[in-house]
Structure formats: structure tokens, C-alpha cells
């Protein structure tokens, strides 16, 4: 899985915090569960469209819906560039490392 595109999402603030990550493959239950180690992770399998929420100590939120080709990333108020770079590295590494094992 790769990040194909990062699109800024307009919000009430300066628009620099919220991104939509477009992915090369859809979220599966397996790929969603691989995020569990990256922070406080919740998977709402019983919601109408099963959805995950990942929150990290750095103040980052990542949300996505099973079956969709994207996820919503909300960066913290401070240190945004570093947090986003770490997310990109860790997210892709985590997903792809596990893919290889499977």
C-alpha cells in the first residue's frame, strides 16, 4: 500500500492541519489492525461502515473506513511537518512490512 496523494482539507482554521490521504489499495481489516501498534487505536467493527481511529502521543489523529481508498489525517497544532513525515514513514513501513510477511 502506498500514499498516492495528500490533499489538504479545508476546515475552520488555517487549513494546514487536515489532510486526506489517497491510497493505492483499500483498507482491509488486516491492514487496519496493523495500525494498532502505532498509538491509541480503536476499531469500530460494529459501526454501519466499520471505521478506525488512531491517536498518537504526538497529537496526531488518523481515521479511515474499511474498504475505502483513503484516510483522514489531522495533524497537531505544533511540530506539524515532523509529525507528518514520521506518520508517512511509519504508516507505509508498517503496512508494507506486514504485507511482505503475509
Partner 1 sequence: MIYLNNAATAWPKAPGVVEAVSECLASVPEHPGRTAAAAHRLPDACRGRLARLFGVEHADRVVITQHATQALNLAILGLCLHAGDEVVTSVMEHNSMLRPLSRLEDMQGLRLTVIGLTPEGNLDENAFEQAIARGPRLVAINHASNVTGQVMPVAALFKQAHRAGAVTLLDASQSLGHIPVNAEALNADIIAFTGHKGLRGPAGIGGLYVRKGLELEQVIVGGTGVRSDLRLHPGEMPTRLEAGTPNMPAMAGLNAALCWIEEHGAAFEAAASVRTAQLRAGLKSISGVRLFGQREGEPAIGVVSFRILGWPVEEAGYVLTESFGIVCRTGLHCAPLIHSAIGSAPDGTLRFSPSGATTEQEIAETIDAVKRMAA
- Candidates 41, 43, 61, 69: give the one binding partner 1 (CB under 8 A): 61
Residue 83 as a binder of partner 1 (CB under 8 A): the answer is no
Shortest distance (Å) from residue 94 CB to partner 1? 21
Q: Is 35 helix (H, G, I), strand (E, B) or coil?
A: helix
Shortest distance (Å) from residue 48 CB to partner 1? 6
Shortest distance (Å) from residue 92 CB to partner 1? 22
Please give the angle made by the CA atoms of 88, 89 and 92, to the nearest 5 degrees.
80
Rounded Cα distance between 45 and 91, Å, is 21
Nearer to partner 1, 5 or 20 (CB): 20
Shortest distance (Å) from residue 67 CB to partner 1? 11
What would the grid cell of residue 49 be? 461502515
Rounded Cα distance between 50 and 35, Å, is 15
Is-contact 72 91, C-beta < 8 A? no
- Provide the residue count of the chain: 102
Q: Which residues bind partner 1 (CB under 8 A)?
A: 11-13, 18, 44, 46-51, 53, 61, 63, 65, 68, 72, 74
Amino acid at each position: 500500500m502506498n500514499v498516492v496523494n495528500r490533499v489538504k482539507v479545508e476546515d475552520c482554521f488555517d487549513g494546514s492541519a487536515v489532510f486526506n490521504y489517497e491510497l493505492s489499495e483499500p483498507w482491509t481489516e488486516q491492514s487496519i489492525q496493523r495500525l494498532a501498534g502505532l498509538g491509541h487505536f480503536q476499531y469500530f467493527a460494529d459501526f454501519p461502515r466499520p471505521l478506525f481511529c488512531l491517536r498518537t502521543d504526538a497529537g496526531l489523529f488518523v481515521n479511515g473506513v474499511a474498504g475505502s481508498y483513503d484516510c483522514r489525517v489531522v495533524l497537531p497544532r505544533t511540530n506539524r511537518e515532523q509529525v507528518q513525515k514520521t506518520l508517512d514513514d511509519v504508516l507505509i513501513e508498517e503496512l508494507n512490512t506486514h504485507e511482505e510477511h503475509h
